[in-house]
Structure 1
Amino acid sequence: MNTVTIADIVKRFKLEVLIGHNQLNKVLKKTKVRRPGLEFMDKFDFIATEHVQILGKNEINYLHTLSDEECKLRIANIVQYDPPCIIITSNQEEPLGLLRYCTDNHIPVLRTPDSMTEMSAKLDAYVTKVMAPEIAVHGVCVNVAGIGILLRGKSGVGKSETAHTLIGRGHRLIADDIVVLKKLSPQTLLGTHNEKNKEFLALRSIGLLNVVRLYGRAAFQDESRIALDIELTEWQENALNNELELDEKFKTYMDVPIPHIQIQLQPGRDVAGLIEAAANNWYLQQQGYSAADEFMKRLEPEFEEDN
């Protein structure tokens, strides 16, 4: 798991540092920011600690109605939750009582022109992504028609060549060879590169390619939610299933189950086309459609006649 410091968010979101320049190396421990409300008035044991506290217009206007000493008392309630920093939104004027108390307690106070809603959403998304548990797997990650796919298989089976064909059809490369998987939630797995292999695709007999330089910015995407795990395998005679609907299988990464499909390779087989079909079929299934169910409904009248 990667760490995020206050200095990181200051740089990322171009925040103004009002006080606490010497405390910017503090490490964030929680991924969600908090907006104080009743916490100004009293301390609640059930409130989570160590969250960034963000102050919107209502909170700042309230603090401006207080004297410096009263303001310190209210801020003291928030400080009990051990916030790594406090962010003032909408470029509001900072209450002097807030700055004085936070200076005494070594808590950085930052300011942004963004609204509270905008800043909360951006900061939550950024910190959650950076601090998410992650693993690296051998494979290729592509985005096919907006659907993130992890391609796996033995070395030399043709993963990168298949990705190259998909790029030629208008789809996008995420990562080649090493794919970094981040667990954003119990149901969400994000695929991305490791920075070093960003935009690069290695093809046997050709060498290393920069897909952005060759095919334009549209050939590459920084990250994508993983919807399908597709394993490319060698052709095995009499091993293909021909049922109307195969039983759904899953591959689990960090306890996140991902639908799994196996595609066997054979000269002349349109593997890229099969991957496109798999992606589009997955999308239809998310909409509640099943081709097998529709086909069986069409056969129902014949079954009834036979009976």
Structure 2
Amino acid sequence: MVKVRTKDIIDKFKLELICGEDGLNRPITTSDISRPGIEMAGYFEFYPSERIQLLGKTELSFFNQLSSEKRQERAEMLCTDITPGVIISRDLDIPSELIEASKLNDVPILRSKFKTTRLSSRLTNYLESILAPTTAIHGVLVDIYGIGVLITGKSGVGKSETALDLVRRGHRLVADDCVEIRQEDLDTLVGNAPELIQHLLEIRGLGIINVMTLFGAGAVRNYKRIGLVVNLELWDQMKVYDRLGLEEETMRIIDCDIPKLTVPVRPGRNLAVIIEVAAMNFRLKRMGVNAAEQFSNRLTDVIEDREHEEF
């Protein structure tokens, strides 16, 4: 499914449409922006025609120094049948050869008042966000002390009830039941709720509640970067759980490995408090304070001291 078309960036960045109206529905398939300086010099061997083409003062100054024949030839090679658009920055004048070439393949010619570097940066950030790889995970996403905690587990284990308790304790709900996740960078995952169930929680026996209506706008947020995964599972008497916190488990989502904790569920355990403390402890670890490692080091020192005393 096409996520973004040329007409979308016109609306987003208030671009002026010069010509090429018939090409406004062309899909944009990559977040990379091309500044075709070397193409202006005549080298089209590796021309990325599927990208948005951005022409600034440098490219147009060189282009205007060419002969009329070369300008026409290179403008036609620049405007292919898959080029989503050519953007002129700095509100510069549009060469007539470029306008004529755009009419051959219906390539939209657009103009912006922004400087070239600034426009390129904003376009790239916008397209990377829209075109980022996405997935959906069954779980609950809550913002706890600034840490995006993704709570996972089998249906009925108590994810939504735990999220409700966390909201009552002052934290913010991002998504319940289905979390849409997009990878915005090599190590950055951002989660949000599908529009249909935004701000809603499903509590068995109670039904669907609107968290924003009940607790106010401060109890929800639209999206959050995921920093920690907490997996809830029913207590297994035969399983040995990590009691020190030295083991570091991760969960792979798209291309990112996110730290993961497994918390067993049994009557009498306050899951909201446990997850809240897990988020605080995760923050401490990022600040360089690891209580488990400190305890392990102290224990090692005590054992070594006793061995020296025996000898």
Q: TM range, normalised to the smaller chain?
A: 0.7 to 0.9
Deviation at 1:30, TM superposition (A): 1.7
Q: How does 1:115-264 map to 2 (within 5 A)?
A: 115-185=115-185, 187-237=187-237, 239=239, 241=241, 243-264=243-264
Q: Residue 41 of structure 2 aligns with which residue?
A: 41
Do the aligned residues in 2 keep the contact of 1:160 with 1:201 (CA within 8 Å)? yes
What is the RMSD of the two structures over their aligned residues, measured on CA atoms? Answer: 2.8
1:10 aligns with 2:22: no
Do the aligned residues in 1 keep the contact of 2:40 with 2:63 (CA within 8 Å)? no
1:20 aligns with 2:3: no
Residues in 2 aligned to 1:240 and 1:189: alpha-carbon distance in whole angstroms: 30
Do the aligned residues in 1 keep the contact of 2:142 with 2:173 (CA within 8 Å)? yes
Could you tell me which runs of 5 or more consecutive residues in structure 1 were left unpaired when the two chains were aligned. Answer: none
Residues in 2 aligned to 1:219 and 1:54: alpha-carbon distance in whole angstroms: 42
With structure 2 as the length reference, what TM-score do the two structures score? 0.84
1:270 aligns with 2:294: no
Residues in 2 aligned to 1:78 and 1:287: alpha-carbon distance in whole angstroms: 50
Could you say if the C-alpha distance between residues 221 and 61 of structure 1 is closer, same or farther in structure 2, counting changes exceeding 3 Å? farther
Do the aligned residues in 1 keep the contact of 2:80 with 2:105 (CA within 8 Å)? no
Where 1:276 maps in the other structure, the secondary structure is: helix
Q: Percent identity?
A: 36
1:51 aligns with 2:51: yes
Deviations 1:138-196 (A, max 9, x none): 21122222322221122222211222222233332221111122244553333222221
Could you say if the C-alpha distance between residues 269 and 27 of structure 1 is closer, same or farther in structure 2, counting changes exceeding 3 Å? same
Deviation at 1:254, TM superposition (A): 3.2
Could you say if the C-alpha distance between residues 89 and 155 of structure 1 is closer, same or farther in structure 2, counting changes exceeding 3 Å? same
Could you say if the C-alpha distance between residues 259 and 197 of structure 1 is closer, same or farther in structure 2, counting changes exceeding 3 Å? same
Deviation at 1:46, TM superposition (A): 4.0
Moved runs in structure 1, 4+ residues, more than 6 A? none
With structure 1 as the length reference, what TM-score do the two structures score? 0.85
Do the aligned residues in 2 keep the contact of 1:41 with 1:77 (CA within 8 Å)? no
Do the aligned residues in 2 keep the contact of 1:189 with 1:225 (CA within 8 Å)? yes
Do the aligned residues in 2 keep the contact of 1:55 with 1:89 (CA within 8 Å)? yes
Residues in 2 aligned to 1:285 and 1:56: alpha-carbon distance in whole angstroms: 46
Could you say if the C-alpha distance between residues 242 and 255 of structure 1 is closer, same or farther in structure 2, counting changes exceeding 3 Å? closer
Deviations 1:252-302 (A, max 9, x none): 233433222111223443322222222233333344442222233444543
Where 1:94 maps in the other structure, the secondary structure is: coil
Do the aligned residues in 1 keep the contact of 2:141 with 2:176 (CA within 8 Å)? yes
Q: Residue 283 of structure 1 aligns with which residue?
A: 283
Where 1:101 maps in the other structure, the secondary structure is: helix
Residues in 1 aligned to 2:169 and 2:121: alpha-carbon distance in whole angstroms: 34
Do the aligned residues in 2 keep the contact of 1:133 with 1:183 (CA within 8 Å)? yes
Where 1:155 maps in the other structure, the secondary structure is: coil
Residues in 2 aligned to 1:216 and 1:261: alpha-carbon distance in whole angstroms: 30
Where 1:31 maps in the other structure, the secondary structure is: coil
Do the aligned residues in 1 keep the contact of 2:81 with 2:105 (CA within 8 Å)? no
Where 1:196 maps in the other structure, the secondary structure is: helix
Deviation at 1:88, TM superposition (A): 2.0
- What letter corresponds to residue 226 of structure 2 in structure 1? I
Could you say if the C-alpha distance between residues 49 and 187 of structure 1 is closer, same or farther in structure 2, counting changes exceeding 3 Å? farther
Do the aligned residues in 2 keep the contact of 1:69 with 1:97 (CA within 8 Å)? no
- What letter corresponds to residue 3 of structure 2 in structure 1? T
Residues in 2 aligned to 1:241 and 1:167: alpha-carbon distance in whole angstroms: 27
Do the aligned residues in 2 keep the contact of 1:40 with 1:77 (CA within 8 Å)? no
Q: Which has the larger radius of gyration?
A: 2
Deviation at 1:25, TM superposition (A): 0.9
Deviation at 1:63, TM superposition (A): 3.9
Do the aligned residues in 2 keep the contact of 1:2 with 1:131 (CA within 8 Å)? no
Could you say if the C-alpha distance between residues 99 and 283 of structure 1 is closer, same or farther in structure 2, counting changes exceeding 3 Å? farther
Do the aligned residues in 2 keep the contact of 1:229 with 1:251 (CA within 8 Å)? yes
Deviation at 1:98, TM superposition (A): 2.3
Aligned length: 307
Could you say if the C-alpha distance between residues 292 and 12 of structure 1 is closer, same or farther in structure 2, counting changes exceeding 3 Å? same
Residues in 1 aligned to 2:209 and 2:21: alpha-carbon distance in whole angstroms: 43
